[in-house]
Structure 1
Amino acid sequence: MFTLIAFLVAIGALVTFHELGHYTVAKLCGVKVLRFSIGFGRPLVAWRMFDTEWALCPIPLGGYVRMLDEREAPVSDDERPHSFNAQPVLKRMAIVAAGPLANLLLAFLLYWVVMAHGVVQWRPWVGTVVDNTPAASAGFRAGDRVVAIGDRAVANWQEMRLALLDGLAGRTQPLDIRVMTEAGPAVRHLDVARFSQSNAQAFESGDIGIMPVRYLPEVGALEQDGVAMRAGLRPGDRMLSADGRTLPDWQSWVAVIRDNPGRALSVNILREGKPMTIVLRPASVDSGEGFVGHVGISPRTDDSWRAALQFSQRFDLPHSAQAAWNKTFDTSWMSLKFLGRMLVGSASTDNISGPLVIASVAGQSAREGLIAYLEFLALISVSIGILNLLPIPVLDGGHLMYYTAELVRGRPLSERVQLIGQRVGFALLFGLMAFAMLNDISRLFGG
């Protein structure tokens, strides 16, 4: 219920702001607005204000502004100057573009609030390097402090992920990553071509096999009635060695367990300062690429490392406005580039998300607090704005495409051409929504 409410509030706010963009510019251009609707279907609630019917409808997947238009119903001579179709093409373009631009404006305002309040950032320091990943092959070590990706300096973990996402796209040559180690500056050469197939989807999200968190070789939690619990392990136990192999970090423990499915291991632990030995036989689990060991343990995070990673960043109002502008621009530009890569086939369509994933993330961000929720709203607002500017008929960008053609030709496209475009646009939009829903189901339910 909490997730559903967070999702409905998010969609309601974003759609309202989008439609207010259309409504405001339409009124400024002298166009009569017949209905302002949030949602689709038969109105649950409706009232009249400012010569417009305002409606709240039950299907919360969008909204619309219905304007006086001779193409939809007869218009009297007195009201014709106030109809949408009677407006010059530049006014029509302004009304249509106002919706997506309102979403980008909303994103800027939300980011401004977030930046002025202050945000918790993570330093671009490597806490964990996952085995058998591009980062491990490039020589990354826990404790590396990333300074720059290629020629792009990074100051926090988010900037690093964005720089990786941008630097890895379509790349065939190694990517140089400058880091600071205990011994001084160093360069990690990330060989993208070597892992381009097996790690393609991870690359698209900027994932090369490093994490900011650091895990201790200690038991944090146990799977109920799992192998480890039945063997007598308890939360707080520290792993020292397994079959004589020292376990200096959590990754070493994971490697031992994964490599020994079904084999009894003699594990030395430290419990409340006292050494102990237990026998542990990992269960054999099919990973899809062979059988691996599994015992049902999650690690304890290194709280001191986490505290060193985090820092609060706060700006005064002028600088927070500049930071919000930069954030909105960067997010919009990255969204456009990612869409372009999907169109040319260099980015996977598996990254497209639909309402189920958006609802899930809405609930998660709302639980983290107001600022996290506002950041989520800003990101989705950018996505809605950019998506609606795509030149697909039935979207605002499709109408802008028609009006641009009208400007060039000196007359509108024929109704037949526009009708065909609408049908194609509906088919594309329906297919996109269906694909996004399938992706959502696969992510959330493992289908």
Structure 2
Amino acid sequence: MTFLTAVLAFAVAIGVLVVVHEYGHYSVARLCGVKVLRFSIGFGKPLASWRSKSGTEWSIAPLPLGGYVKMLDERESDEPIDPADLPYAFNRKSVARRFAIVAAGPIANFLLAIVLFSGLYVTGVREPIAELGVPAAGTVAARAGFGGGETVVALRDTDAGTEQTVRSWSELRWKLIDAALAHRPIVLRATMGNRTFDYPVDLSHVAANDVDDNLLDQLGFVPGGAKAIVAGVEAGTPAAEAGLREGDELVGIDGRKVVDVNDFVAQVQAHPGQTLTLAVRRDGQVYSMPVVAKPTSIDVGGVQKTVGRIGAALGGQMPMVDVRYDPIEAVTLGVRRTWDISAFSVRMFGKMIVGEASLKNLSGPVTIADYAGKSASLGLASFVSFLALISISLGVLNLLPIPILDGGHLLYYSVEAVTGKAVPERWQVVFQRAGIVCILVLSAIALFNDLARLLHS
């Protein structure tokens, strides 16, 4: 991935999301009879602009991290408004219409996510199957009875009998994170060979602070199935001396089957200084090769640890599956996926606010640009999926009850609908300043997390 790819992917992602969000505000404002003065993509002095027949000025500005729709409003006008235009002012509309106009932006982001997910499900996506690797001893997966090589095909809550099909690793990952965040005990149905097993998995004791990108590793649920293929051999190393070659498949070690590439690496690392007997498949034949796992000191969380290494670079592609749905099922799943991710995001935000989840989960523009570039380099399907996730995040963020955001205005209108009186202007000014402080603090934390990830990458 190049820097240019990341920048272009980020620009496309932000451009699409901003246009969709602001067009949601614009379209509902027009439906509610509000005059729209300007539709701007980006902030600052316009680089280009044009005026439509409706009188709206459409502009593109140099700062691309957002946009806005400026509507006719007596409270924001520096000059007297033509009496003929007063019926079209935003502030003259009913609470219900103002609520609808403001809510339309986040709703447009959710609708975009539904469309994107549904499109992916209809056209089909190629994903790794939900095959498990060997779990670390003592982890939740190990205690549940998994040994590696099982393929998870379904999940259900222990208390409720509703079973959810698991078609791919991404589905399994998402369902496990969701269950862990809710502290729900579940049952995983998995196959191995021609046999099917049920594994009770207790997630009730998972700490909220542990619910992050590394959660599945901590629980012992690691992807498996990738064959241990030799991608290269370093000269003068035990692997070279044993006669390993590029393209060899490592199928066994000390008489036991190698489940996947991670299993092989773990076995070698666990036996520093020992001679291991490898079963190597080459040109359809299996050969036995003794190799010494050379003791090597590595840093693990600031602690020096001695592990075994043989000097072979390994690579392997996980088994893949084409996941495809009919249109009705695709839309249903698109709605459900958007809802699930939205609810998960809200819960995570709530737990971060009360200190039950780490603020390290916040990401800023640098991380988003990095992910945009990586997803774009993996193909259109990955980029579309990334775009849907960011669209949901933007929708959820804007619905937070922070005065400067859409959610803050919706809170004002809710109070007005209940009390029959608008929130006093002086209080709105105070709340807006507080909202700006909140946004600045969140932005600073996100930027700090971005820089920390860059320094440790």
TM-score interval (norm. to shorter): 0.7 to 0.9
Alpha-carbon distance, 1:58 to partner: 1.5
CA-to-aligned-CA distance 1:35-80 (integer Å, 9 cap, x gap): 1111112222222223122111121111111112222223323322
CA-to-aligned-CA distance 1:413-433 (integer Å, 9 cap, x gap): 112211111111111111112
Deviates more, 1:58-67 or 1:47-56: 47-56
- 2:257 partner SS: coil
For 1:113 and 1:170, the matched residues in 2 are separated by 29
- Structure 1 residues 43 and 408, CA, compared in 2 at 3 Å: closer, same or farther? same
- Number of matched pairs: 436
1:116 equivalenced with 2:129 (yes/no): no
1:211 equivalenced with 2:226 (yes/no): no
Alpha-carbon distance, 1:192 to partner: 4.0
Structure 2 counterpart of 1:286 = 299
1:177 equivalenced with 2:188 (yes/no): yes
Is the 8 Å Cα contact of residues 122 and 324 (structure 2) preserved in structure 1?
Answer: no
Alpha-carbon distance, 1:399 to partner: 0.4
- 1:168 partner SS: helix
Alpha-carbon distance, 1:238 to partner: 5.1
Is the 8 Å Cα contact of residues 126 and 211 (structure 1) preserved in structure 2?
Answer: yes
CA-to-aligned-CA distance 1:184-207 (integer Å, 9 cap, x gap): 443334344676499554675696
1:156 equivalenced with 2:167 (yes/no): yes
TM-score by length of 1: 0.86
Structure 1 counterpart of 2:360 = 350
Q: Which residue of 363, 381, 387 corresponds with 2:391?
A: 381
Structure 1 counterpart of 2:429 = 419
Structure 2 counterpart of 1:65 = 69
- The runs of 5 or more residues in structure 1 that have no matched partner are none
- Structure 1 residues 33 and 438, CA, compared in 2 at 3 Å: closer, same or farther? same
Trace 1:117-156 onto structure 2 (pairs within 5 A): 117-146=123-152, 147-150=154-157, 151=161, 152-156=163-167
CA-to-aligned-CA distance 1:179-229 (integer Å, 9 cap, x gap): 34458443334344676499554675696222333243442345x789667
Is the 8 Å Cα contact of residues 130 and 251 (structure 1) preserved in structure 2?
Answer: no
Letter in 2 for 1:211: V
- Structure 1 residues 179 and 278, CA, compared in 2 at 3 Å: closer, same or farther? closer
- Structure 1 residues 202 and 25, CA, compared in 2 at 3 Å: closer, same or farther? closer
- Structure 1 residues 197 and 153, CA, compared in 2 at 3 Å: closer, same or farther? closer
For 2:388 and 2:252, the matched residues in 1 are separated by 48
For 1:318 and 1:279, the matched residues in 2 are separated by 57
- Structure 1 residues 228 and 339, CA, compared in 2 at 3 Å: closer, same or farther? farther
Alpha-carbon distance, 1:169 to partner: 1.9
For 1:247 and 1:294, the matched residues in 2 are separated by 18
- 1:403 partner SS: helix
1:99 equivalenced with 2:105 (yes/no): yes
Trace 1:176-325 onto structure 2 (pairs within 5 A): 176-182=187-193, 184-192=195-203, 196=207, 201=212, 208-221=219-232, 234-237=245-248, 245-246=254-255, 248-249=257-258, 250-251=261-262, 253-259=264-270, 264-269=273-278, 270=280, 272=282, 275-288=288-301, 289-293=303-307, 295=309, 297-301=312-316, 306=319, 309-315=320-326, 317-325=327-335
- 1:35 partner SS: strand
For 1:45 and 1:226, the matched residues in 2 are separated by 63
Deviates more, 1:272-281 or 1:110-119: 272-281
Structure 1 counterpart of 2:57 = 53
For 1:79 and 1:13, the matched residues in 2 are separated by 32
For 1:267 and 1:334, the matched residues in 2 are separated by 46
Q: Which residue of 11, 15, 18 corresponds with 2:18?
A: 15
Is the 8 Å Cα contact of residues 213 and 302 (structure 1) preserved in structure 2?
Answer: no
Deviates more, 1:425-434 or 1:150-159: 150-159
Letter in 2 for 1:216: K
Letter in 2 for 1:101: I
For 2:208 and 2:106, the matched residues in 1 are separated by 36
Alpha-carbon distance, 1:362 to partner: 1.4
- The runs of 5 or more residues in structure 2 that have no matched partner are none
1:33 equivalenced with 2:39 (yes/no): no
For 2:172 and 2:324, the matched residues in 1 are separated by 16
TM-score by length of 2: 0.84
Structure 1 counterpart of 2:405 = 395
1:340 equivalenced with 2:350 (yes/no): yes
- Structure 1 residues 332 and 204, CA, compared in 2 at 3 Å: closer, same or farther? same
Is the 8 Å Cα contact of residues 106 and 395 (structure 2) preserved in structure 1?
Answer: yes
